[in-house]
Homo-oligomer: A and B are copies of this chain.
Amino acid sequence: MNIGIVGLGLIGGSIGLDLRSRGFDVFGVSSREQTCQRAVALGVVDAASVNLSDMAVADVVFICTPLGSIESIAQKLVPHLSPDTILTDVGSVKTPIVQPVSSLWPNFVGGHPMAGTAESGIEAAVRDLFVGRPYVVTPTAETPMAAVERVEEIARSLGAKVYRCGPEEHDRAVAGISHLPIMASATLVAACAQEGDRDIVKLAQHLASSGFRDTSRVGGGNPELGVMVARYNRVELLRSLSIYRDCLDEFISDIEAEDWQALEQKLKLTQEARRSYDLSN
């Protein structure tokens, strides 16, 4: 089977490395000639070029570019594909991708491999990035089942745990557990930065420990990523943020009212609720 990968960064490159080692023939496309050369040198792909027309030989094409360019890549790509070719992507928000790209290419299956490292770019590509990680596949009622199963089969061959759901369900779920944490965490750093007394700021910077480090980590991450998820998952993120604000107000009310029993009850439920998440990922 011939695999095409458009966008040779961390995710595209890591998919390439793994699929080549599973015996697939992997062809890459990058907009930069230098990236193509590095991808071949690193063994990420068998061959690479800057021409989307080279994807004509592929049975399955992964679009691994940033969210903002998936739709436009698909538009340029589809004239070159043979009718049976399955198209999939790796974007972290699904509804705004699945709707337009499925119209362009009925054999499109939205996908979201939930893996990464702090690095990016072709040099960051690593083997086994997806082992034991969730890989969400988001068909619609119209997506051909054979295409869905083919993408899931490839995802499983990467060692990922495959989940299937609609694009809307995916976007609501990740709004809460992936995009809301970015904003709640960024707000923590922003709030601490409001302190006007320089001595307190200095002291806080010295005393900050694992609690602050962990809670502020995703909020201190890549600003472009934060903007991208807010932009593409705006409605679901705003819904999550609104629920978050209501919950925050309840915590504040308990503390204002010195209702320690109510606060303890909330924190017990929180402790309990957190245990039901699969945090071994």
Interface residues of A (CB under 8 A from B): 114, 133-134, 136, 161, 163, 165, 169-170, 172-174, 176-178, 180-195, 197, 199-200, 203-224, 226-227, 230-231, 234, 237-238, 240-252, 255-256, 258, 260, 263-264, 266-271, 273-279, 281
Contacts and interface: CB of A to CB of B under 8 A. Distances in A.
Which 4 residue pairs of A and B lie closest in terms of their CB atoms, listed nearest first?
A220-B274, A223-B267, A181-B215, A191-B244
A224 B250 CA distance: 18
A183 B217 CA distance: 16
Contact of A207 (B178, B211, B222, B264): B178
Contacts of A247: 187, 190-191, 194
Given A204-B176, A274-B220, A231 B260 contact: yes
A241 B188 CA distance: 9
15 contacts: A136-B207, A165-B199, A177-B207, A180-B191, A186-B267, A191-B247, A193-B273, A207-B281, A211-B217, A212-B277, A212-B279, A230-B260, A241-B248, A241-B255, A245-B245
A256 B215 CA distance: 24
Nearest to A184: B188
A51 to B, nearest CB: 32
Residue of A249, A274, A281 with most partner-chain B CB within 10 A: A274
Contact of A241 (B185, B194, B216, B252): B252
Given A205-B278, A220-B273, A223-B268, 20 more contacts: A136-B207, A163-B206, A169-B200, A173-B207, A177-B212, A181-B188, A184-B248, A188-B244, A189-B270, A190-B247, A190-B270, A193-B273, A205-B276, A205-B277, A207-B281, A216-B277, A219-B274, A223-B270, A238-B256, A248-B248
A114 B246 CA distance: 32
- Chain A interface SS verdict (over half): helix
A176 B201 CA distance: 10
Contact of A264 (B227, B245, B266): B227
A245 B266 CA distance: 19
Contact of A190 (B192, B266, B279): B266
Nearest to A242: B252
Contacts of A263: 226-227, 230
A230 B208 contact: no
A118 to B, nearest CB: 10
A270 B204 contact: no
